[in-house]
Structure 1
Amino acid sequence: MNRNDKQAYDRGTSLFSPDGRIYQVEYAREAVKRGAPVVGVRTTDGVVLVGQRSAPSSLMETKSIEKIHKLDDRLGAASAGHVADARKLIDFARTTAQRERLRYGEPIAVEVLTKALTDNIQESTQSGGTRPFGASLLIGGVQNGDARLFATDPSGTPQEWKAVAIGGLRNDIQEALEAGYTDDLTLDDGLALALSALRAANDELTAEEVNAVTLSEAGYTELGEDELAEAFADAAPDEADGDEA
């Protein structure tokens, strides 16, 4: 294959290369890896979502950076990747959740919302004149009393997790999560694990750069500054350190 043929597959948003790859989807995944990380942890009584807000300048208001979003009373999402792409996906998820409430008078299930969202993402990989979304989401919530946590991929693939990280430093954070996760974690334990995993991957992280929410039967709860600062101080990185790969 000559160079021009390779460039043709590289530019096509819906073309498979001879080895079965869609390069634009892989580039979208790289965009996700360049984003600030977010972490989700499923616990016995809910889901914890934690995001790192990285400001490009000391003059930017860190609070204006949105990493975690409310979708419904017991549903939330955290995003990594291109902010504009993530906002479009969040808007789609919110509209879908609201439509379900209006139509059936009850909240949408976490898995149903995730699959509706990933169906929308997948369409962008097979339609002319579009490009894949350069963002991934963690979607968490409580469904019939059970905590559920899903991650989306730019290819349109949904995956369910017990604990997962997306965005920058993903491998280091995931290693810390795997070392520290147990099936009997409480919400407080899940928050401590998520924060310690972030700190293990980035020892320069500060409490001001982090925001976190919990999703439980009590609803969508965003942690206040004082509560988050206390939890951040208690989350020692060595609690989630694992062996080097």
Structure 2
Amino acid sequence: MAFVPPQAGYDRAITVFSPDGRLFQVQYAREAVKRGATAVGVKCKEGVVLAVEKRVTSRLIEPESYEKIFQIDEHIAAASSGIIADARILVDRARLEAQIYRLTYGEPVPLTVLVKKICDLKQMHTQYGGVRPFGAALLMAGVNEKPELFETDPSGAYFEWKAVAIGSGRNIAMAIFEEKYREDMDMDEAIKLAIFALAKTMESPTPESIEVAVITLENKRFEKVSSEKIAKCLEEAIKEAEEAEVEEENMDYSDLDNNY
């Protein structure tokens, strides 16, 4: 009989805790998200912005078929990172729950209600044998009375953010948000910040490799941002970043001169 390492039981099973209180299958699902394409969300006084990196692996793929930002309802959208097939199932469930709420109560579903429904489904897949956690995280954004932005974790936990990133470039994007985010930003500034943070996580950003969508407080409707506007914001963001780097270098040299 082959020797089985003692940790294999809790390493492979979703229902068994490790001795230090962890569920390894949930952690592995988080690793799938960390390896996924970067997605960012930024909330501002006029609405909320979602931006994602489109990793088109072949020039033969039709770029329009590579969807990473999904419309859930007229006033709600989601951006995904991780296993895209898992994300599609979560998006389909969110769309169903949104329509059930609208038919039952005759009004648009609040984003908080929808986020709880999706996270309940995620949590259920960490508690029962015969299933595995969803290897996808969603940024869910919407506007009811005010703009809202949530991150949903593979464990079923969720958090509301002013600006947030998921995926392989999370740390870089979050550092940029910590430095540059302001609560009084308008929509154009929020779009530019989202594109700038996303571009910093990419090797060679182009307008074709970035997808952006907005939901405004004024009309409460999901809208994709045109590639022309993405190109303009990307160009402005890169130019501002280069100018800031030059200013930093000049400051460093002036400090050095003052020391002599």
Q: How far apart are residue 105 of structure 1 and its match? A: 0.5
2: distance between equivalents of 1:34 and 1:201? 13
What CA deviation, in whole Å up to 9, does each residue of 1:3-25 have, x standing for no partner?
Answer: 62211111001211010000000
Note if contact 1:54-1:62 (Cα within 8 Å) is conserved in structure 2: no
Q: Equivalent residue for 1:134?
A: 135
What CA deviation, in whole Å up to 9, does each residue of 1:157-205 have, x standing for no partner?
Answer: 0100000000111101111111110110111111100111112222411
What CA deviation, in whole Å up to 9, does each residue of 1:130-174 have, x standing for no partner?
Answer: 000000000011121x11100000000010000000011110111
Using the TM superposition, name which of 202-211 and 163-172 deviates more.
Answer: 202-211
1: distance between equivalents of 2:175 and 2:93? 32
Using the TM superposition, name which of 221-230 and 118-127 deviates more.
Answer: 221-230
Q: Secondary structure at the match of 1:202?
A: coil
Letter in 1 for 2:224: E
Using the TM superposition, name which of 184-193 and 224-233 deviates more.
Answer: 224-233
Q: Equivalent residue for 2:241?
A: 238
Q: Equivalent residue for 1:34?
A: 35
Unaligned runs of 5+ in 1: none
Note if contact 2:29-2:154 (Cα within 8 Å) is conserved in structure 1: yes
Q: Equivalent residue for 1:164?
A: 164
Note if contact 2:38-2:201 (Cα within 8 Å) is conserved in structure 1: no
2: distance between equivalents of 1:32 and 1:232? 25
Note if contact 1:200-1:238 (Cα within 8 Å) is conserved in structure 2: no
TM-score by length of 2: 0.88
- Work out which of the two has the higher radius of gyration on C-alpha atoms and give 1 or 2: 2
Q: Secondary structure at the match of 1:235?
A: helix
Give the fraction of aligned pairs with identical amino acids, expressed as a percent.
43
Aligned residues: 240
* RMSD between aligned residues: 1.8
2: distance between equivalents of 1:53 and 1:186? 25
> Runs of 4+ in structure 1 displaced over 6 angstroms?
none
Letter in 2 for 1:222: K
What CA deviation, in whole Å up to 9, does each residue of 1:37-59 have, x standing for no partner?
Answer: 11000000110000110012222
Q: Describe how 1:57-136 pairs up with structure 2 within 5 A.
A: 57-136=58-137
1: distance between equivalents of 2:157 and 2:165? 16
Q: Equivalent residue for 1:173?
A: 173
TM-score by length of 1: 0.94
1: distance between equivalents of 2:83 and 2:118? 17
Q: How far apart are residue 34 of structure 1 and its match? A: 1.0
Unaligned runs of 5+ in 2: 249-260
2: distance between equivalents of 1:19 and 1:148? 35
Letter in 2 for 1:209: S
